[in-house]
Amino acid sequence: MVAPLKVGIAGLGTVGAEVVRLIETQARVLAGRSGRGIRVVAVTARSKVKKRGVDLRGIEWARDPMALATHPGIDCFVELMGGAGDPALSAVDAALNAGKSVVTANKALLAKHGLKLAKAAEKHGGALNYEAAVGAAIPVIKTLREGLAGTGINRVYGILNGTCNYILTRMEQEGLSFAECLKDAQRLGYAEANPSFDVDGHDTAQKLAILASLAFGTKVAQSAVYVEGISSIAPEDLRAADDLGYRLKLLGVAVRTAKGIEQRVHPTMVPKSSSIAQVMGVTNAVTVDGEGIPPITLVGPGAGGAATASAVVADIADVARGIRANPFGRPISHLRDTRKAPMERHEGGYYIRLLARDFPGTAAAIATRLAEQKISIESIVQRHPNGGAAPTDGKAVPVPVILITYATHEDAVRRALAAVQKDKVISGRPQVIRIEKN
Tell me the window of 233-241, 251-259, 318-326, 370-378 that interacts with a second copy (CB under 8 A). 318-326
* Nearest distance from C-beta of residue 312 to a second copy, angstroms: 8
For 11, 232, 286, the CA distances from 134, given in Å and listed in that order, are: 18, 25, 10
User: Could you count the other beta carbons within 10 Å of the beta carbon of residue 63?
Assistant: 9
Shorter beta-carbon distance to a second copy: residue 228 or 315: 315
Residue 211 touches a second copy, criterion: CB under 8 A: no
Site mask, a second copy, residues 97-136, x = CB under 8 A? Answer: ----------------------------------x-----
Phi and psi at residue 310, to the nearest 5°? -55, -45
Q: Whose CA is closest to 34, among 77, 76, 68? A: 76
Alpha carbon distance 65, 90 (integer Å): 9
Phi and psi at residue 267, to the nearest 5°? -60, 140
Residue 53 touches a second copy, criterion: CB under 8 A: no
Question: Beta-strand (E) ranges in 132-184?
Answer: 153-159
* Nearest distance from C-beta of residue 332 to a second copy, angstroms: 10
Shorter beta-carbon distance to a second copy: residue 338 or 405: 338
* Residue in 107, 142, 207, 249 annotated catalytic: 207
Active site residue 207: yes
Alpha carbon distance 97, 119 (integer Å): 10
Partners of residue 350 on adjacent β-strands: 434
Residue 142 touches a second copy, criterion: CB under 8 A: yes
Alpha carbon distance 70, 48 (integer Å): 20
* Nearest distance from C-beta of residue 354 to a second copy, angstroms: 33
Residue 398 touches a second copy, criterion: CB under 8 A: no
Residue 237 touches a second copy, criterion: CB under 8 A: no
Q: Is the peptide bond between 87 and the residue preceding it cis, with omega within 30 degrees of 0?
A: yes
* Nearest distance from C-beta of residue 283 to a second copy, angstroms: 7
* Nearest distance from C-beta of residue 248 to a second copy, angstroms: 17
Residue 29 touches a second copy, criterion: CB under 8 A: yes
Residue 73 touches a second copy, criterion: CB under 8 A: no
* Nearest distance from C-beta of residue 325 to a second copy, angstroms: 7
Shorter beta-carbon distance to a second copy: residue 121 or 401: 121
Partners of residue 202 on adjacent β-strands: none
Q: Whose CA is closest to 315, among 139, 161, 149? A: 139
**What are the respective helix, strand and coil percentages of the chain, to the nearest 5?**
40, 25, 35
Q: Whose CA is closest to 400, among 431, 421, 371, 376? A: 431
In this chain, which of 42, 314, 354, 375 binds a second copy, going by CB under 8 A? 314
Region 331-390 residues binding a second copy, contact defined as CB under 8 A = 331, 334
* Largest pairwise CA distance in the chain: 90
Question: Beta-strand (E) ranges in 234-359?
Answer: 246-257, 260-271, 283-290, 296-301, 347-356
Residue 301 touches a second copy, criterion: CB under 8 A: yes
Residue 34 touches a second copy, criterion: CB under 8 A: yes
* Nearest distance from C-beta of residue 329 to a second copy, angstroms: 6
Q: Whose CA is closest to 435, among 293, 290, 266? A: 266
Site mask, a second copy, residues 260-299, x = CB under 8 A? Answer: -------------x-x--xxx--x------xxxxxxxxxx
Interface residue list for a second copy (CB under 8 A):
22-23, 26, 28-30, 32-35, 131, 137-139, 142-143, 145-152, 217, 273, 275, 278-280, 283, 290-301, 304, 306-307, 310-311, 313-314, 316-318, 321-326, 329-331, 334
Catalytic residues: 207
